[in-house]
Structure formats: C-alpha cells, structure tokens
Amino acid sequence: MILWEALGSVLIGLAVSYGALRWLPTRYGQFRSRVLTLSTGPVAALFGALLAHSVLGPGHAVATLAVSLGVAVALLSLLLRPAGRARRSATA
C-alpha cells in the first residue's frame, strides 16, 4: 500500500510543479529555475507522504495524499520570486 501512496504522491508533485510553471500568472512572480521547480514538486510531495504515513499509519491513503499535496504546494511557494524589484529604503 505504501508503494501506491509513494507513486501517487510523486505524480501529484509532478502535476503541481508542472501546473505552477504552466498556469501561474506572472503577477505572482517567477520561479528561480525550471529544473529546480520540476524536481522540488515530487520530492516535497514524497516527503509529505512519508511524513503523513508515519504519523497517521496505514489505511489513510486519501489523507496521506492530501498532506503530500499540501507540502508540495507549500514548498513550491517558497521558490517564487516576487514580481518586480524589491524596494529598499534609504535607511536600510
């Protein structure tokens, strides 16, 4: 059962990272690297699934995949660069 959860979480991570690269509007910012984004999604989802499976135990496949989706989205959001330049004050 954990093999299917791992495979499902990797596919969720790939879908989230590809979807973020493809459909995220430019007003939210740009990703630093395409390769980094496409590799972070599956790794983050797999880590989330492993973490959820160790906390929840076997028999909670839907919850495990939901946690893996959340972890993948959270870690991919850390790769976003803000749109536009950062403004610095004269005192900084």
Which tens digit of pLDDT belongs to each residue from 8-35? Answer: 999 999 999 999 988 877 766 788 788 9
Question: Whole-model pTM?
Answer: 0.83
Kindly indicate the confidence band of residue 1, based on its pLDDT and cuts at 50, 70 and 90: confident
Element spanning 81, H or E: strand 80-81
Alpha-carbon span 54 to 71, nearest angstrom = 15
Alpha-carbon span 44 to 65, nearest angstrom = 12
Q: What pLDDT, on a 0 to 100 scale, did the predictor assign at position 22?
A: 87
Kindly indicate the confidence band of residue 86, based on its pLDDT and cuts at 50, 70 and 90: low
Average pLDDT of the chain to the nearest whole number: 87
